[in-house]
Copies of this chain bind each other. A is one copy, B any other.
Amino acid sequence: MREPDISIAECSYRRVLEIVSNKWTALVIYALEDGTLRYGLIKSRIADISQKMLTQTLKQLERDGLVVRKVTPVVPPVVDYALTPLGRTLLPFLRMLKDWSSAHYASVSEAREAYDAVHQDASHG
């Protein structure tokens, strides 16, 4: 029999989707996969993230228990970020998505071109 719990709306799945569905969250987690990184290093890894968005994303991740923040009170300040064990459990998921990208993104691109050729009104790039 089919599970009846699938009316997808209310479960934790949805909440987790909200976490990962941010523009930057996945990228930041992925940037930290190799271990602890200072704020500036994370920023240079992602490059086109703004300071505001990086800080905001990091703060949210910290709140969710996915990242730890460690301040070393020296001048100038040193702030390190690292994934928590909980945060690290998301890595396989991110890697899987990355593999998917390598394997299938070309197909998506083709599909878009084909679609746009037919529907003739697109200008997405």
Interface residues of A (CB under 8 A from B): 2, 6-9, 11-17, 19-23, 26-27, 30-31, 34, 45-48, 62-66, 86, 89-90, 92-93, 96-98, 100-108, 110-112, 114-116, 119, 122
Contacts and interface: CB of A to CB of B under 8 A. Distances in A.
Contact of A65 (B26, B30, B65, B107): B107
Given A46-B9, A65-B108, A96 B98 contact: no
B12 A97 contact: no
Given A8-B27, A64-B108, A20 B19 contact: no
B31 A8 contact: yes
Most buried by B among A14, A17, A98, A108: A17
Given A9-B46, A86-B104, A20 B63 contact: no
Nearest to A116: B63
B101 A45 contact: no
Given A93-B97, A101-B11, A111 B64 contact: yes
Contacts of A122: 63
A4 to B, nearest CB: 12
